[in-house]
Amino acid sequence: MPKLEDKHLMPVTLTDIRTAAHEIAGHVVRTPMRPSPSISALTGADVWLKLENLQFTASFKDRGALYRLQALSELERRLGVIAISAGNHAQGVAYHAGRLGIPATIAMPRGTPFAKVARTESFGARVIQDGNELADLEALAAELVAKEGLTLIHPYDDDRIIAGQGTVGLEILDAAPEIDTIVAPIGGGGLMAGIAIAAKALKPSIRLIGVEANAFPSMSCAIHGTNAPASKPTIAEGIAVKYPGKRTLPIIREHVEEILVLDEAELEYGVQELATVGKVVAEGAGAAPLAALLAYPEKFAGRKVALVISGGNIDATLLASTLMRSLVRHKRLIRLRVEVSDAPGGLASATRIIADAGANVLEVQHNRLFFDVPIKLTEIDFVLEVRDAAHCDRLLAALAAGGITAQLLATHAHSIPGP
């Protein structure tokens, strides 16, 4: 990584972060830092989880939001604040502004998950939804600042925000000083920048690895001087940030060893495995650090790694869909096409073999009308629940032994390796 030439670009210090920790103590959760034997066995690293999904608003954003709000003047508190956010910063600002009696307005993209919108409104904030991305809302926020005298609470490009998020780094090394690698998601960079300042000051040898979605590789593109591609939908909307912070960029360039850019299948796999193996529910951004270990295990093998589970605000329908897709990926849900005689007993013979093999039928669909099926035969598509890939293979063998032609239909889940 290139080195900073101007140290004045990095105004936040370890002292600032320690001050932030003192000021927010008792008002935010000092979240658990737990070893995870199950995730360690899965990845080949000695893995600890920093569970920021256990904050009151289920995100690390509580920290920086509160610390920034504490700096408002009496006039600024009376007039109120505005934040631009896809959800987590919104909830952090809305919750703590409500506690402090500060009117809050939150500008959110139209596609923000319903759960995040509803939770933000439940804290008493005025929510305005407009635009498709965070960047689309900047003009709206500027208009409200000018018209209503609101104070903008930036989600990442603010010294007090960076200092507040940096308290995560203090807590990681206080709880587990043996940690030699910290992996955290990067959107605008406030979380990683704060962690980097704290962790490098306390333990200069520590490795810092960032994770971005390839739908929004803004920070890595800025560091390498390349243009970011056109944005795309992502499961990790918490790090779907179009432009990195001017304050956070030099900090990350100086201290972060590498930024791993993951595709959607890899990020989805992280959510699945964190829930099913680690028993921790996280949103896409929150599971991104585990996704990085699963995608690049050789980079972390044998190391003592802290994964910053940055948030748990995942929409229930998205989580359900992701977990069901995990069953497909691990061949616990399969689609099977069999060809049988189009006569009484044809279907029964197939289902009898399936039942005897211990598989559970979830869906059945006949196909006898299309020209690629002989007129005296019928194709039957089954969706089946099986125990694992080996059970699937035994079922196929049993059907073949019974004289039934069977074809396992593609699931497109092979792009991510199973356990």
The verdict on residue 300 lying in a domain is yes
What pLDDT is stored for residue 345 in this prediction? 79
Q: Are residues 247 and 165 in the same domain?
A: yes
Q: Where are the beta strands (DSSP E) in 126-244?
A: 126-129, 151-152, 181-185, 207-213
Whether 307 and 183 share a structural domain: yes
Q: Are residues 50 and 93 in the same domain?
A: no
pLDDT at 203: 98
**Cβ neighbours around 275 below 10 Å, total:** 18
Query: Is 416 part of any domain?
Result: no
Instruction: Dump the DSSP string for 4-34.
Output: PS-GGG----HHHHHHHHHHHBTTB----EE
pLDDT one digit per residue (tens) for the chain, 419 residues:
333 334 344 589 999 999 999 999 999 999 999 999 999 999 999 999 999 999 999 999 999 999 999 999 999 999 999 999 878 999 999 999 999 999 999 998 887 777 778 889 999 999 999 988 777 888 899 999 999 999 999 999 999 999 999 999 999 999 999 999 999 999 999 999 999 999 999 999 999 999 999 999 999 999 999 998 888 889 998 898 888 999 999 999 999 999 999 999 999 999 999 999 999 999 999 999 999 999 999 999 999 999 999 999 998 889 999 998 888 888 889 999 998 877 777 788 889 999 999 999 999 987 765 546 565 678 888 999 999 889 999 999 999 999 888 888 865 544 444 44
* The token pair that represents 68 in the structure block: 């920034």
Report how far residue 331's alpha carbon sits from residue 325's, in angstroms, rounded to the nearest whole number.
10
- Cα 243 from Cα 236, distance rounded (Å): 16
Same domain, 287 and 353: no
CATH code, domain with 31: 3.40.50.1100
Say if 1 falls within a structural domain.
Answer: no
Exposure of 13 by Cβ count < 10 A (0-12 exposed, 13-18 middle, 19+ buried)?
Answer: middle
Count CB atoms within 10 A of the CB of residue 7: 9
- Using the 3D structure, point to which of 133, 152, 171 is the last residue of a domain: 152
- Non-local (6+) Cβ contacts of 108 within 8 A are 84, 85, 86, 87, 90, 116, 117, 120, 127, 128, 129, 137
Q: What is the pLDDT of residue 58?
A: 95
**304-309 and 181-185: which strand pairing?**
parallel
Q: Please list, residue by residue across 259-272, b when 16 or more beta carbons sit within 10 angstroms of its beta carbon and e when fewer do.
A: bbbbbbbbbbbbbb
Give the range of the structural domain holding residue 238, as residue numbers without chain letter: 7-60+158-326
Domain end call among 152, 185, 207: 152
The pLDDT of residue 6: 40
The DSSP code sequence of 246-282 is TTHHHHHHHH--EEEEE-HHHHHHHHHHHHHTS----
Q: Do 67 and 55 belong to one domain? A: no
Same domain? For 80 and 189 the reply is: no
What pLDDT, on the 0 to 100 scale, is given for residue 215? 94
Residues 347 and 200 in one domain: no
The per-residue pLDDT for 5 is 35
CB 148 within 8 A of CB 79: yes
Give the three-state DSSP class for 417.
coil
Q: How far is CA 222 from CA 228, 250, 252, in A?
A: 8, 10, 11
- The verdict on 304 and 343 lying in the same domain is no
- β-strand partners of 408: 336
CATH number where 365 lies? 3.30.70.260
What local confidence, expressed as pLDDT, does residue 87 receive? 81
Residues 209 and 276 in one domain: yes
Cβ–Cβ < 8 Å for 239, 216: yes
CA distance 254 to 73: 33
| Tokens 């073999």 belong to residue | 353
Residue 211, helix vs strand vs coil: strand
Same domain, 122 and 218: no
Q: What are phi and psi of 363, to 5 degrees?
A: -145, 150
Say how many domains are in the chain.
3
Answer yes or no: do 145 and 166 share one domain.
no
2 domain residue, yes or no: no
Backbone angles phi, psi at 175, to 5 degrees: -80, -35
Same domain, 55 and 70: no
Does a structural domain hold residue 106? yes
